[in-house]
Structure 1
Amino acid sequence: MASSATAPNSLSFFSSSLFLSSSHQIPKTYISVAKPSSGRVSKPLSVAAQLATLPIFSFEGERVGETYLDLKTAPEETARAVVHRAIVNDLQNKRRGTASTLTRGEVRGGGIKPYAQKKTGNARRGSQRTPLRPGGGVVFGPKPRDWSIKINRKEKRLAISTAISSAASSEGGAIVVEEFGDRFEKPKTKDFLAAMKRWGLDPKEKAMFLMIDVEENVAKSGRNIGTLRMLTPRTLNLFDILNSDKLVLTPAAVEFLNARYGVDSEIDEEDEDDAEGAEEPAE
């Protein structure tokens, strides 16, 4: 019997250096975080710290320096599962669950036998509401239901930081651009496209901009670009991270990510709830 080929260690919906073996990948430091004892023996949560160096570009497209992202990431053997559970949780919680059909007991009419039992040449019918006739009830049709599922808060944060760190560690996957909110005196898409080309971004590729504040002229200049997404810390979500080919950050956004998703980050539960409740649905 021929030996089966080994499947590549990669996610089907996006390519990432975290899930692909690479010779130039930066070594990781693994940390074992033990959960509080609750009377039973629990398996410690393994977390990896991955350092990624990002180039900083000016508004004119010149390289002016470097910065780094030091975020928590899931180990390679569990990264796929953590990210998958988090994205399924986000997408499934956005389902409205309002689909509804009528059973034969809820369809209007059908109180009388349509025709005689015999001598008509037709099949025997006891009601017009039978599922076998047009306009009748539906068998095992959908009813309103709640599709929402739960996920641990720390696991969801780990999935987001893993996805960001994966994009940052891949070659050309993420860059940092100096603050450019005051560079647009008026909204103009042509100027924004020219700036993207100076930064080495292809307008045909999906790009996600993460900024602390999005100026009105910047938002209006980029809203006509279908492949562009502009997010803030309150609207940051896992779907847009995985759905983008390029990640563009500002220096303030890098500081935010290191403070919120870094190895030494300590976030209050109230701040975490506010951030999770402000996520935008995927389009």
Structure 2
Amino acid sequence: MKVAVLDITGKDTGRKVELSSDVFEIEPNNHAIYLDVKQHLANKRQGTHKSKERAEISGSTRKIKKQKGTGTARAGSIKSGVFRGGGRMFGPRPRDYSFKLNKNLKRLARKSALSTQAKENNLVVVEDFEFDTPKTKNFVNVLKALGLENKKSLFVLSGSNNNVYLSSRNLERTKVVSGSDLSTYGILNAGKVVFMESSLETIESNFSK
């Protein structure tokens, strides 16, 4: 598929780039997408949740009533979870939620996400650009020129471009990543995915393996 190349003012340069059919035109694998997004969200969880169990509660250890003859259940400790102020039964404990996925599956998921966005005409290719200094206003002007100021957007760079990244950091709906940091969640969470022209070669070489 061919996509027109725009400049940072939003005008057509008259050139078109050919997107690899192996990356942008495959049949999306929904289960691969599900697993990769699930892993991404799981890896972001801190897992530091903790509640006190009966052994960790401060309180009297005396037997609170006699064993028999009360007509109610036996009770041996005020720290039991059945009493107010007692420990929590089967409460959360600190744990690691991350899990492993094979590289081939993750690659398939990202190609599926890119193909999904391509089918919906949500891909934009822009000429490479840089800023002399980090300035949010410069990046906002680019967004306005591309008609993305009120949309979620993901900008994909070919490599590190510190001034462009710092200029976008304060913008809530925009994220800037390098081609090697693309994630399935990031691709699908964006209304438009904007590629710098030079980033396409890196992405196609990484995902065509």
- Whichever structure has more helix as a proportion of its residues is 2
1:98 paired residue among 26, 43, 48: 48
- Give the TM-score, by structure 2 length: 0.85
Runs of 4+ that moved beyond 4 A: 115-118, 122-125
Q: Percent identity?
A: 31
Task: Count residues with an aligned counterpart.
Answer: 205
Measured after TM superposition, the shift of residue 194 of structure 1 is 1.9
1:213 paired residue among 156, 159, 164: 159
- In structure 2, the partner of 1:152 is 102
Query: Aligned partners of 1:138 and 1:74: how far apart in 2?
Result: 50
| Distance verdict in 2 for CA 1:95–1:220, change over 3 Å | closer
Q: Which runs of 5+ in 1 are unaligned?
A: 1-51, 266-283
- Counting only pairs closer than 5 Å after superposition, residues 150-229 of structure 1 correspond to structure 2 as 150-171=100-121, 173-181=122-130, 184-199=131-146, 201-229=147-175
| Distance verdict in 2 for CA 1:143–1:243, change over 3 Å | same
Query: Aligned partners of 1:88 and 1:155: how far apart in 2?
Result: 13
**2:166 match: secondary structure:** helix
| Distance verdict in 2 for CA 1:91–1:138, change over 3 Å | same
Residues 1:242 and 2:178 are matched in the alignment: no
Residues 1:59 and 2:8 are matched in the alignment: yes
Residues 1:260 and 2:206 are matched in the alignment: yes
Query: Aligned partners of 2:162 and 2:100: how far apart in 1?
Result: 35
| Distance verdict in 2 for CA 1:97–1:223, change over 3 Å | closer
Measured after TM superposition, the shift of residue 144 of structure 1 is 2.6
| Distance verdict in 2 for CA 1:194–1:141, change over 3 Å | same
